[in-house]
Structure 1
């Protein structure tokens, strides 16, 4: 009797969990406006947090108090640091800070140690998930110092974003931030 009750309870809870994950997020005016920006390729992302790979070197830096209060090897506050990734037509421009390890090639110059590029990507794919009202953008692009990047951007209907950068010369890093329209004067 107890076994039968447990089986029925598990089946019920399982069906509840599955039904919740299949719910559709209905389109809101905010998500519809985001759809238009993505289709027009006219938006900018400003990141509030960097999420570098927590390597032994990053842990060493954190253990020696070099990351500042409230930061950890895997979560660094960027508020007050100018950064952006903008998509305007076919061109993509970025100036993002970098925290992590250089794997090979190149070197840190005194001019710029971040992730920078201003060019047309070699590949570009954009897909919308109608169920969650999210957009996924993937592209490959070359940086200013002959470094190659594979970038995945997730855009959420509340205009928040996640960027994941995989580099040919550095450990991976992510960014969390917000989306905004590029003002008409800058177009």
Structure 2
């Protein structure tokens, strides 16, 4: 019987240690509203005078594509946005013989522009809509305090695609 209690005691001890480690590794949902780095990022983004350069494209059904050497950008200036993002994935409709037609492009004043701060997650989300010819585009850009930007583009003619990049200070 002594061995049974010894084994049980060790087992309980290991469980307690593992439980403590798991609890300690859990993410803290702290509010970053007063964090200086977060506030600086919010001010930069709120002015809508910045640029994003993407390093990766993440098509829905395919592997990540490194965008090194592929021109791409999202540029907010005054009250307009200029978007040029190479597209990798399935296109359901539209398109033509224009070589630039393969990219996701938008230039103009965005519709339904919305900026949403999320201090609980330490991010700022930018939502807007745009269109080009017969294609309607929905953009969701999430910006983190370290300057990392994630852009999701949903189209009426293509698969959704996500881009990973960084905020370019101007």
TM-score (norm 1): 0.73
Partner of 2:116: 127
Pairs within 5 Å for 1:70-81: 73-81=62-70
Contact 1:27 1:133 in 2 (8 A): no
State the distance in 2 between where 1:110 and 1:13 align: 55
Root-mean-square deviation (Å): 2.6
Pairs within 5 Å for 1:35-46: 35-46=42-53
Shift of 1:100: 0.8
Q: Tell which structure's C-alpha radius of gyration is larger.
A: 2
State the distance in 2 between where 1:108 and 1:94 align: 20
Contact 1:93 1:117 in 2 (8 A): yes
State the distance in 2 between where 1:87 and 1:74 align: 29
For structure 1, which runs of at least 5 residues remain unmatched after alignment?
Answer: 55-72, 183-187
Give the one of 28, 39, 47 matched to 2:36: 28
For structure 2, which runs of at least 5 residues remain unmatched after alignment?
Answer: none
Contact 2:50 2:75 in 1 (8 A): yes
Contact 1:134 1:156 in 2 (8 A): yes
Give the one of 116, 135, 141 matched to 1:153: 141
Moved more, 102-111 or 153-162: 102-111
Shift of 1:15: 6.0
State the distance in 2 between where 1:148 and 1:120 align: 14
Pick the structure with more strand per residue: 2
Shift of 1:16: 5.0
Contact 1:42 1:181 in 2 (8 A): no
Partner of 1:62: none
Contact 1:43 1:180 in 2 (8 A): yes
Give the one of 157, 160, 165 matched to 1:172: 160
Contact 1:117 1:142 in 2 (8 A): yes
Give the one of 102, 112, 125 matched to 1:113: 102
Residue 169 (structure 2) pairs with residue 162 (structure 1): no
State the distance in 2 between where 1:179 and 1:107 align: 32
State the distance in 2 between where 1:134 and 1:104 align: 34
Contact 1:154 1:163 in 2 (8 A): yes
Contact 2:123 2:144 in 1 (8 A): yes
Shift of 1:21: 3.3
Count of aligned pairs between the two proteins: 161
Moved more, 43-52 or 118-127: 118-127
